[in-house]
Amino acid sequence: MKNVKEIEIKIEGASWQNALDKAYKKKNKEVKIEGFRKGTAPKNIYIKKMGIESLYMDAVDFVMDEAYSKALDEAKVNPVIEPKLDITGINENEVSFKFTIIGKPEVKLGEYKNLGIKKETVKVSKGEINEEVEKIKNQLAEITPKTEGKVEIGNTAVIDFEGFVDGKALDGGTGENYPLVIGSNTFIPGFEDGVIGMSIGETKELNLKFPEDYVADLKGKDVKFNVTVREIKERIVPELSEEFYQDLGYENIKTEEEFIAEVKKVITERKQAEIDDAHLEKCLEKASENMTVEINPEIISEEVHRMIHQFEEQLSMQGIKLEDYAAITGMTHEKLHEQMEPEATKRVKYRYLLEAIADAEKIDFTEEEVNKKAEEMATNYGITVEELLKAYGSNEIVKYDMMMHGALEAVKNNN
């Protein structure tokens, strides 16, 4: 591929001898040679006892920066991923490297403006509004003890239960003060139906059958549960009122009509954002299909590894290690890599597409504009500009993000 450069670099003479000297001083401190304290054996004695070959890998580390710098100068290309390195030869006089450097692939833009992709119009039905209102009301519902009456659908029955199969206690089939939400279908079919109508303090025997798709040793078997209701709780859903609106933080809403209008506005904005995102995705997909670019497998692989690292961090925030996740789900690293490859490919394509559009549209920003944007972002995040730049890496990354947003606007505002 045109963007791949293989560069041979040789380090010899004083540079290599200096590296071998540094390696000797380092290794001499780590090994004990008979007749000498650690670090005091002369170089010729050390080499006689340990062999000059023992210095090579440490010496390579000392000349790596020099070799890499020479390779970049000769390649005249900025690598987009970590270059591959092979040591092609090494002895006491020289070391030879082969660097495989992959630069940015060549991108030929196709049509990215007049794509003919229509954007849907937001429509909000009365049913959606009513559903959202009920959802909000249920979020503010209070759970209170029910001192009278029987268990009903929607109640939480706090129960003790014990299960028996073939006259023996069911392993894992016992619980005390278990909060069972009636209607949640948490237990096997028939269990919750049997609890409906029970009173506080009542004990009942439920004769049920495990479903046919249950675990192998229990499916289809008869099971008996002894159930005692200890407590009944009910959800009190609030009515629409001025107090209710204030609890939601709507200080200026006084009537049901005003609240319904606000709910409709929120739904509209949410659906509009979803439509905008879907439209932009279709535009990017079409524009990326129209461009010509050959992407190296190594670039895709690098993106996959970045995504896996992000996934690992997300799991870590939940207190889960990647290896534990893999053990639970049976997801090997190879399977995870394969699963993420299509998304990684899309991300890389879109990145090169937007970079090419930014060039074509001559999207650029002055240092003053970038600094102003950094200040705005820092204010929005509630941190200092210094903290923001530390997280981002540099002002150049902020500028890059601004250019990518500019390219996105160029795509979505022309369709």
* C-beta atoms surrounding 66 within 10 Å: 14
Phi, psi angle pair for 169, to nearest 5°? -60, 135
Give the pLDDT of residue 330: 85
Q: DSSP string covering 76-93, please?
A: TS--SSPPEEEEEEE-SS
Residue 241's closest CA among 253, 223, 249, 228? 253
pLDDT at 328: 83
Q: Check residue 325 and give its pLDDT.
A: 87
* CA dihedral angle for residue 263, residue 265, residue 267, residue 273, rounded to 10 degrees: -160
Whole-number CA gyration radius for the chain: 34
CB distance 182 to 196 below 8 Å: yes
Cα separation, 21 vs 39, whole angstroms: 13
Check if the beta carbon of residue 300 is closer than 8 Å to that of residue 344.
yes
| pLDDT confidence of residue 415 | 64
| Phi then psi dihedrals of residue 413, to 5 deg | -85, 5
**Looking at the chain, how many residues does it have?**
415
Task: Render each residue's pLDDT in the chain as its tens digit; 415 residues.
Answer: 889 999 999 999 999 999 999 999 999 988 888 888 888 889 999 999 999 999 999 999 999 999 999 999 999 989 999 999 999 999 999 999 999 999 999 999 999 998 999 999 999 999 999 999 999 998 899 999 998 899 999 999 999 999 999 989 998 889 999 999 999 998 999 999 999 999 999 999 999 999 988 888 888 999 999 999 999 999 899 999 999 999 999 989 999 999 999 999 999 999 999 999 999 999 999 999 999 999 999 999 999 999 999 999 999 999 999 988 888 888 888 999 999 999 999 999 999 999 999 999 999 999 999 999 999 999 999 999 999 999 888 999 999 999 999 999 999 887 6
pLDDT, residue 357, reads: 97
Instruction: Please list, in sequence order, all residues whose beta carbon lies within 8 angstroms of the beta carbon of residue 8, skipping any fewer than 6 positions away.
Output: 88, 96, 97, 98
Question: pTM here?
Answer: 0.74
Task: Tell me what pLDDT residue 281 has.
Answer: 95
